[in-house]
Structure formats: C-alpha cells, structure tokens
Amino acid sequence: MTAVVAPPVAGSEARPAAPVDRPRRRPRELTALDYATMTGCALSSIALNWLIFTRLTDGVGWFGFLVVAYLTFLGLFFVVTADRLGRLVATDRLATVAITSGAAVLAAPLLWLVGYIVVKGLPNLRPNFFTDDQQGITPTQPATDGGGSHALVGTLEQVGLALFMTLPLALATAVFLNETRSRLRRPVRIFVDAMSGLPSIVAGLFIFAVLILPYAGDKGPFGLDVFGFNGFMASLALALVMLPTITRTIEVVLRLVPDGLREASLATGASRARTVWSVVLPTARSGMATAIILGIARAVGETAPLLFTAFGYDLINGDPFSRPQESLPLYVYRFIRLPNATARARGFTGALVLIVVVLTLFAVARIVGRDRTANRSRRRRRTARATGTALEPLEPQEPLFS
Amino acid sequence: MVTSSVRARDLGGTPVPDDHQPRPVEDIPARADRLFGVTTTGAGLSVLVLLTLVGLFLLLRSDDAFRLMGGRFFTTSEWRTDTTPVRIGVLGLVVGTVEVALVAVAVAIPLGICAALFITEYSSPRWRGMLTGLVDLLAAIPSLLYGLWGAIVVANQLTPLSKWLADHGGWIPIFRVSGDNPQYQGSIFIAGLIVSLMVLPIIAAITREVFAQTPPGEREAALALGGTRWGMVRMVVLPYGRSGIVGGSMLGLGRALGETIAVTLLLPQAPIINGQILKNGGATVSGFIANSAGVIKGITVSGLMAAGLVLFLMTLLTNMVASVIVNRSRSGVGVEL
C-alpha cells in the first residue's frame, strides 16, 4: 500500500497548498496498471481454461467455463498483484474485484430472463390478446388467434377484491404496531413476520380447506355457490399473501413520520384517533401509495394460491362470485404445461404481458416512493404561503428506498 | 409515540422538595380513542387469529391421512394411492424440499453478501441506487416466470456443466450420479440454482441493513490504524453483522422451503428420495401439492393437507428462529425482516 501523506500537525499554521503539478493520491482506487493487470489475467485465464477444457478434456459448457475461468482469473490476479505490491494490497484488491463482480453479475440472470420472455412472447402478441378469450380456439390454430382477455378480467377482479379486503386491515394493523402502546405489539409483530414467510401455496390450501372442500360438489350453505372454485376465493387467498407485505411497508412509512408532528397534534388537545387520522396518515400518504402498489405487484404474479381457488377457465367469466375464473399467471401456467408448441407460444405471450404489468407496477412504486420529498416541499411552500410564515429548514428525511 | 417524563431536578431547575408527591395524572381516553384502541387491537389480533386458523384447519382436514398412516406418514417416502393399503408419506417430499433449499441458500449467501457489501462499502452513490433497484427487481419478478425460464432455457444450458461435474467430480459424494445414461435436466441442482435467485434479495436486504448499522467509530478506527478497506470489512463489518448474516440466511432458507411454482415447473415432482442432486428427479412439498391441484375427494386431499401442514410448520419454525436470531443480536435491533 502506498504511504499516506502525514497530515499537518495540529497547531501549525494554515495547511500548505498542495503543489499543482503533483496528482492527488487515492490509495484505495484501482490504477491504470491494475486495470492492465486485470485484463492480462482475464486473457490468460481464458486461454488456459480453453486449453484445459476444449483440448485436454471434454467440454464443460459455457456456464461452467465462465465459472472456472472467473475463479482462475481471481487466483492469477491475486498472485500478480501480490508479486507487485505485496500480500496485504493484493488481498484488498482481490476483495474489491470479487465483491464488485459478484454484485454486477446479478444483472445477468435478470436481463437474460426478461430478454428471453420478450423474444418468445412478442411475435405472437396481437391487439386481440386484450379483447378475445379462448372461445372456439383449437390447439391447431396459430398462437396469434384468441387472447387472454378472460385472464386480464380475472386478475383485475381478484387483485381488486383482495386489495379491497386487505387495505383496511393492513392499515389498522400498521397503526396498531406503530401508533399504540399496547403490550400485544410484540407478539403481533412476530406473527406478521411469520405470515410474510407463509408459503403462498399454503394460503391457497387453507382457503380450499375451509371454504371449498366442505361443500365440494354441491351448493354451499343457504344455496349459495360462493363456496366453490371462483374468483372470490382466489381473492381471499391473495389477501392472505398481500396482508403482511402491505402491513409492513405501511408500518415502515408510518415510522418515518416525525414525532414532532404527533406531539404537536396531541399538545393542541387532539385525541389519539384524531392525531392518526388527521396528522399521521396524511403525512404518510404517498408512502402508503407505494405500499399498496408493492402489494399489488406481489399479488399479480402469484400463481400457487390460485390453483386451489380460482382454478382457471378458458372463457371469460366476469362474475367473481361463481364458477372458476382465469387469471394472468394461471393462463401462463396452464398453457406452458401443455405439450404442443402453439399452446406454449400462447403461454409466452401471457408471460410477456405479465412481466410488463409487474415491471410497470415496480417502476411506478419507485417513482411514487422517490417523489415523497418533492411533494413534501411543495406542500410546505403552499402552507408557508397560506400562513405567511417563513420556510424553516427540514430535518433530512430517509428515503423509502435508499 | 415516545412520551418521557423528565423530572425537574434532572434538568437543573428548581430543586424538588423530598416529600414532593407527583401530581397524579389520569389518562382517561376519549370515546373516539377507546374505539380507536379497540379497532386497531382487533386488527392486530386478527393476524394472530388468521395464522392460528391456518394451522388449525390444515390439522383438522389432514385427520384422515394421519389416522390411516399414523407415525408412518413421516417415514414413508412413497405416495401411492392406487395400492391397497394406500401408502402415502411425506418423507420423500421433505427431503427434496430441504435439498433444494440448501442448494439455493448455499449459492445465494455468498452472492447476497457480495451485493450487500458492495452496496454499503464499495459503491459510489449512483451505483448504490442501481444495485438496490436491481436486487428489488429480482424480488419483484414472479416465481412463475423464474420457473418458466429455468425449466426451458437454463436447464438446457447447464446440462454440460452437470455432466462434467458428474464425470470428473463424481468422487465427491454430492456430485455422484449413478445409472446408465442419466438425465441431467430437472435436477435438484438446477432447481436450487433458480430458487437461489429468488431468495437472494431477502438475504441481501437483511445483511445490507445490518452492515449499514456498523458504528462509524469502529469503521474509522480500523481505517485509522492503517487497515485496508478489506481489512476493515473483515475485522469490523463482518463480525458486527454476523448474526444478521445468519438470520438473513435462515430467512432465505424459509423462503426457499416454501417456494412453489418455480419448483413445480423445474422438478418432475415424483416423490422419491433422490440423494444425487445432479440427476433428474425429486419432489418438494409445495411443488407436489401444486401439481395435485384439482383433486377434491378422497385420501389424497387429506394427505395433501397433511403435507401442507408439515410445510407450514417447517417454514414457521425457520422464520421464527431467524427473527429471534436477528432481533437478539447487537446489530439487528430494529432491522425490518
């Protein structure tokens, strides 16, 4: 490691100006020579492994080749740097390179997955995907015929109903966890955590066991056919999946509301309920929007809970309270498991639509989450104008996503 | 809501006489507050009730299977409903589930720690935001699409690697593959690799939060003593975050145990004990249940409920232990799980 320039002794006069012609030392950063070493090591590692795997033994596949070549590269890089700068620096450089590349490599599967689905799904995506269902479609017809409107309707209804049921409960639970002083908060928090680890298939199995299985084959109590495979049952299962996600995200948002606001409200004589309703929740509004969007994004892609509840159906069924219903993930799942190529192509088209929906929701959640400070300063300016007071500096606020 | 009572003496105000009795302060909640308390407590308790109900109903509906098989339900690895007597058991499924989860976690831990260290210690602010987004995005992709991509694309691409490992590394027990002309697709190894991508975000998120809480003083002390950045990470950040790493990994394990649709598509889901992870074959509890969807009568349903109960208890236990580990540690207080 290069020697660190000694700092000026305390008490000495003003720090001498750094000479202009001497470049600043950055002991941590990789130098041009380091990059040259890396390139050299990478090339020799590829060459060496090419020799071993294609000349001396049978092939290991490109993935195995990359893994082995990468490990060889790390070894070579360490040896060369240790020879040049000593072991201490070599270990540090090795860690930097390994950690950086380990983090960067995460982008590869994501790009590969999204790229693959776009390439397979796009050729068969036609506008009629959004308007037609699978009525009268035989397996031999091209994959561009028919569509997934029944799946879109199902997803919309199921997720909408689930959100409708979950949101009040999640909000009240989050308020309970963050705004009350109950002794039960600790056990409830543990259970919310445990619930977020609940396998989604178990959520579906539970609804199936309680509400569908006892009435299998005949009408449920009072002659209702709600108790069978239908969209409402699916939304109940999805609600179980969404509840912990939304609760915890809202709780995090509530925690970001400054205590000063609560105390100010209580000091003016407002009740706790009024404080939460008129001060805490409005302050956390955009964060709660993020929580809702993230919950929706989680639920939209869930397949497992639907297998035992919505069950899937090829035709449009706008009534979520009776008869099986399709949804976007079920559409993909059911088609992709069929053996013939056109069915699979339909599945890929559905997968493309699904991934676009999920990515859009994700992007919206991030934009809404990021805009919090902007909204806040706009509101502050408005308040300041209305009350004729000067703007006071805000305490720095943690962003929802760092 | 933090309310603290600071006595006048502590603030250096007028001394309080020794016989001073604090004025009794009564907290009589308004009617709105009582309603508020009841509503929120009710909502909080509903989560407790729901989770208890899940376990209870699965137990109730699995009664038939347990009555028929008794304790043998946990030691039978077959699932045959066509024979008399019926032989169903959960052992083969549980073994497969644990194998997949272990492979997944073994791959995801190093990558997750790399990502967390990069975010907290190595990156510039710009890259930090990008990588955080990337990890969140990995978590946002539905399991179904991972399974689809893994089963159709990745499985084919990894076959040569599996074959090479089996041919040249077969003397290592976990890479052993027997039988003539073995199939390398649909193996526990490949399923585990795909699942590792799905549990990676949670491991990265927990370890990141723990690493970020390393006291700056200790960090700076290590650097001031002349330590390199890696030296600082190894001597300060990693020891400080050790319990976060353990807890995060266990949480990832819990997620991997419950992973459903991807594994349904990736494994053949025939319940046998397959100790050879590179070879085609194996089943997991969740995948097997998903594969059997649509059965509404008979002993199979009851057996599925029993398997679901086993899975529920496995994940619950893992998650609870993980929460305890993270929350009990010095670094994990206040970390969101």
Would you call A272 an interface residue with chain B, using a CB distance cutoff of 8 Å? yes
**CB of A309 closer than 8 Å to CB of A227:** no
Residue A159: the pLDDT is 95
Q: For residue A388, what pLDDT is reported? A: 59
Q: What distance in Å separates the CA atoms of residue B8 and residue B16, rounded to the nearest whole number?
A: 7
CB contact under 8 A, A188 and B122: no
Task: Please enumerate in sequence order all residues whose Cβ is within 8 A of that of A353, keeping only pairs 6 or more positions apart, or say none.
Answer: A121, A125, A129, A148, A152, A328
Q: Which A-chain residues 19-78 have CB contacts (< 8 A) with chain B? A: 28, 57-64, 67
Neighbours of A84 (CB within 10 A): 13
Q: Is B39 on the interface with A (CB under 8 A)?
A: yes
Residues of chain A with pLDDT under 70: 1-20, 24-29, 55-59, 216-225, 371-402
Judged by a CB distance cut-off of 8 A, whether residue B207 touches chain A is no
Interface contact flag, A199 B230, Cβ < 8 Å: no
- Residue in A closest to B337 by C-alpha: A193
Q: What confidence category does residue B5 fall into, taking pLDDT thresholds of 50, 70 and 90?
A: very low
Nearest CB to A199: which of B39, B142, B286?
B286
Other Cβ atoms less than 10 A from the Cβ of B19: the count is 5
How confident is the prediction for chain B on average, in pLDDT?
Answer: 85
Is B308 in Cβ contact with A205 (below 8 Å)? Answer: yes
Give A-chain residues touching B207 at CB under 8 angstroms: none
Q: How does DSSP assign A32-45, residue by residue?
A: HHHHHHHHHHHHHH
Nearest to A362 among B30, B140, B304 (CB): B140
Band of residue B204 on the pLDDT scale cut at 50, 70, 90 = very high
Three-point CA angle B196, A370, A366, nearest 5°: 35
Closest CB from A109, A173, A300 relative to B44: A173
pLDDT in tens, A246-277: 999 899 899 889 999 999 999 998 888 899 99
Write out the two tokens for A51. 């020799």
Q: Where is A281: in which H helix or E strand?
A: helix A281-283
Q: Is A102 on the interface with B (CB under 8 A)?
A: yes
Nearest CA in chain B to A240: B50
Q: Write the burial class of residue A25 (CB in 10 Å: 0-12 exposed, 13-18 middle, 19+ buried).
A: exposed
- Residues with Cβ within 8 Å of B310's Cβ and at least 6 positions away in sequence, in order, are B74, B90, B94, B285
- Among residues B323, B304, B173, which one has the least CA distance to residue B248? B323
Write out the E strands in chain B: 79-80, 87-88
CA pair distance B266, B154, nearest whole angstrom: 10
Token pair, residue A153, equals 């309707």
Closest CA to B97 of B253, B257, B268: B257
Question: If you compute the radius of gyration of chain A from its CA atoms, what whole number of angstroms results?
Answer: 29
Output the pLDDT for position A378. 57
Question: How many C-beta atoms surround the C-beta of residue A397 within 10 A?
Answer: 12
Residues of chain B with Cβ-Cβ distance to A200 below 8 Å are 258, 260
Taking residues B92-104, report their average pLDDT.
93
Question: Which residues of B are less than 8 Å from A116 in CB distance?
Answer: 149, 153
A179 touches chain B (CB under 8 A): yes
Position B11 scores a pLDDT of: 55
Backbone angles phi, psi at A394, to 5 degrees: -85, 150
Q: How far is CA A260 from CA A173, B2, B16, B265, in A?
A: 22, 10, 28, 52
Q: Which residues pair with B282 in a beta bridge?
A: B270
Query: In this predicted structure, what is the pLDDT of residue A8?
Result: 47
Are the Cβ atoms of A358 and B140 closer than 8 angstroms?
Answer: yes
Closest chain B residue by Cα to residue A4: B226
Residue located via tokens 């990736």: B266
Q: pLDDT tens across B109-163, in order?
A: 999 999 999 999 888 888 888 888 888 889 889 999 999 999 999 988 888 888 8
Please tell me the distance from the alpha carbon of residue A70 to that of residue A288, in angstroms, as a whole number: 44
Question: Chain A closest CA to B189's CA: distance in Å?
Answer: 14
B315 touches chain A (CB under 8 A): yes
Q: Is the previous residue joined to B85 through a cis bond, with omega within 30 degrees of 0?
A: yes
Evaluate whether B69 touches B88 at the Cβ level (below 8 Å). yes
Contact A58 B167 (CB under 8 A): yes
Determine contact: A318 vs chain B, CB below 8 A: no
pTM equals 0.85
Q: Between the CA of residue A127 and those of A225, A238, A378, what are the distances in Å?
A: 34, 29, 41
Does the beta-carbon distance from A102 to B110 stay under 8 Å? yes
- For residue A196, give the nearest of A293, A309, A295 by alpha carbon: A295
| More confidently predicted of A390 and B206 | B206
Note whether B271 and B307 are within 8 A (CB): no
Site of tokens 């090795």:
A94
Task: From B112, B98, B131, select the one nearest B245 (Cα to Cα).
Answer: B112
A333–B159 CB contact, under 8 Å: no
Residue numbers of A between 273 and 302 with CB closer than 8 Å to B = 273-274, 276, 297, 300-302
- Tokens matching residue A34: 């380091």
- Out of B50, B114, B138, closest to residue A102 by CB: B114
C-beta atoms of A304 and B290 within 8 A? yes
Q: Identify which of A274, A289, A4, A165 has the alpha carbon closest to the alpha carbon of residue B36.
A: A274
Residue B335 has pLDDT above 70, yes or no: no
Distance from CA of B273 to the nearest CA of A (A): 22
Residue of A148, A147, A142, A145 whose CA lies nearest to A341: A142
Q: Is B318 on the interface with A (CB under 8 A)?
A: yes
Model pLDDT, residue B16: 67
Q: What is the pLDDT of residue B25?
A: 76
Q: In terms of C-beta distances under 8 Å and separation of at least 24 residues, what long-range contacts does B291-294 make, across chains too?
A: B291/B264, B293/A307, B293/A308, B293/A311, B294/A307, B294/A311
3-state secondary structure of B87: strand
Q: Which of B140, B293, B316 sits opposite A307 (nearest CB)?
A: B293
Report the gap between the CA of B18 and the closest CA in chain A (Å).
Answer: 30
Q: Is the CB of A236 inside 8 Å of chain B's CB atoms?
A: no
Residue A402 has a pLDDT of: 38
- From B14's Cα to the closest Cα of chain A, the distance in A is 24
Q: Which residues of A37-72 are buried (b: 16+ CB within 10 A; e: fewer)?
A: bbeebbeebbeebeeebeeeeeebbebbbbebbbeb
Q: Which of B34, B228, B249, B299 to mutate to test the interface with A (most CBs of A within 10 A)?
A: B228
Kindly report, residue by residue over B7-34, the tens digit of the pLDDT.
444 555 566 677 778 888 777 777 888 8
CA distance B195 to B108: 9
What are the phi and psi torsion angles at A311 (to 5°)? 75, -35
How many beta-carbon pairs below 8 A join chains A and B?
A: 301
Interval B188-195 mean pLDDT: 93
Q: Are B111 and A105 within 8 A, CB to CB?
A: yes
Neighbours of B2 (CB within 10 A): 7
B75: its two tokens: 């030691």
Closest alpha carbon within chain B to A350: B145
A88 touches chain B (CB under 8 A): yes
